[in-house]
């Protein structure tokens, strides 16, 4: 009798699990391609703009094979009406106002990112779009670094930021939240060193916002069939090499480094430059340097 009771309980538990799985599957069908806004982080240069247009066509062609209603595909350089728009954050209010009613995700990618639309759709369906999500392939620093201002110096690996090449995504509730913050707290600086790290810091907001959620389907190599994205890292064919005589190299220095650093430059790579000039805060005919009349800044910059 006890065995029958346990067996029945196990059946009930299995039934509950199956129902839960069915429920999860049904939830995954809620998101359609028309609810994803694709933003290609493009550049206005004709070479890069052409690459971005090719990716846009690929996205729309794949989408047309899957659905009747096509997603919106935006080129970042065409949206960049305001200064610093390439840094993404200044554009979030525009995304919020324009797309928040009918869209669930803003998906960002590089011009060389390759997207498998069915896998991407299935991947995003795994995340509840009514919640705040920051998705991407996670990168972290192995050691504290100056370009990240030595953030998390005690344990650099703890902070994750997205690999743009693999694509990354913000749910619309998070876009709306960040927009409210941007309106009440304008960005303090337009100075950017490593955009992907700085965006992750801004979203995380000292623990008040979400950390990056690693998404294994966002990839930079094509070794796994489950990858929704990959990255083509081939060197571009940009035409014939430029003659070194047509390249002008300007070396910025200051008086205290005339005897310490300039000799090293001259002993290593300077000889390979066809045209080179040294600019300083002091004239030195032995190098020679050009005095710009601008005093040296001992620390930092503006």
258-301 pLDDT per residue, tens: 999 999 999 999 999 999 999 999 999 999 999 999 988 876 54
Separation CA 198–CA 207 (nearest Å): 14
Separation CA 170–CA 133 (nearest Å): 6
Three-class SS state of 124: helix
Separation CA 59–CA 56 (nearest Å): 5
Does some domain include residue 297? no
Instruction: Tell me: do 257 and 227 sit in the same domain.
Output: no
Instruction: Tell me: do 198 and 113 sit in the same domain.
Output: yes
User: Quick one: pLDDT at residue 145?
Assistant: 86
Residue 18 has pLDDT above 80, yes or no: no
Residue range(s) defining the domain that contains residue 258? 244-291
Domain count, the chain: 2
Instruction: Tell me: do 126 and 67 sit in the same domain.
Output: yes
> Considering only CA atoms, which of 39, 31, 205 is closest in space to residue 113?
39
* 223: its two tokens: 């070794």
- Of 206 and 297, the one with more pLDDT: 206
Question: Running DSSP on this structure, what letter comes out for residue 234?
Answer: P
ω into 240 cis (within 30 of 0): no
Does some domain include residue 224? yes
**Span 11-18, average pLDDT:** 42
User: What is the pTM for the complete model shown?
Assistant: 0.74
Strand partners of residue 108 = 39, 168
Domain termination site, one of 187, 210, 231:
231
Instruction: Tell me: do 220 and 248 sit in the same domain.
Output: no
Q: Express each pLDDT in 143-161 by its tens digit.
A: 888 888 888 888 888 899 9
> Considering only CA atoms, which of 68, 41, 28 is closest in space to residue 199?
41
Instruction: Tell me: do 177 and 284 sit in the same domain.
Output: no
Contacts of 104 (CB under 8 A, 6+ apart): 31, 35, 36, 124, 129, 171, 172
Separation CA 49–CA 80 (nearest Å): 13
Instruction: Tell me: do 152 and 206 sit in the same domain.
Output: yes
Q: Express each pLDDT in 49-97 by its tens digit.
A: 999 999 999 999 999 999 878 999 999 999 866 677 889 999 999 999 9
């Amino acid at each position: 009798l006890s065995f029958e009771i346990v067996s029945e309980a196990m059946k009930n538990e299995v039934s509950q699990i199956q129902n839960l799985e069915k429920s999860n599957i049904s939830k995954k069908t809620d998101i359609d391609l028309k609810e994803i806004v694709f933003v290609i982080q493009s550049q206005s240069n004709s070479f890069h703009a052409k690459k971005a247009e090719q990716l846009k066509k690929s996205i729309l062609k794949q989408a047309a094979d899957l659905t009747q209603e096509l997603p919106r595909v935006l080129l970042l350089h065409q949206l960049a009406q305001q200064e610093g728009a390439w840094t993404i954050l200044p554009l979030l209010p525009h995304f919020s106002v324009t797309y928040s009613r009918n869209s669930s995700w803003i998906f960002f990618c590089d011009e060389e990112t390759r997207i498998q639309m069915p896998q991407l759709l299935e991947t995003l369906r795994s995340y509840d779009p009514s919640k705040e999500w920051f998705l991407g392939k996670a990168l972290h620093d192995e050691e504290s670094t100056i370009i990240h201002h030595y953030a998390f110096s005690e344990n650099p690996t703890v902070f994750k930021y997205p690999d743009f090449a693999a694509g990354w995504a913000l749910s619309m509730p998070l876009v709306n939240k960040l927009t409210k913050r941007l309106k009440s707290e304008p960005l303090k600086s337009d100075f950017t060193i490593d955009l992907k790290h700085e965006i992750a810091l801004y979203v995380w907001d000292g623990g008040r916002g979400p950390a990056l959620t690693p998404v294994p389907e966002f990839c930079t190599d094509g070794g796994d069939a489950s990858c929704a994205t990959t990255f083509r890292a081939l060197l571009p064919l940009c035409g014939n090499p430029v003659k070194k005589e047509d390249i002008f190299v300007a070396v910025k220095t200051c008086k205290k480094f005339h005897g310490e650093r300039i000799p090293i430059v001259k002993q290593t790579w300077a000889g390979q430059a066809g045209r080179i000039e040294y600019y300083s805060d002091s004239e030195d005919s032995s190098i020679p340097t050009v005095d710009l009349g601008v005093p040296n800044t001992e620390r930092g910059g503006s």
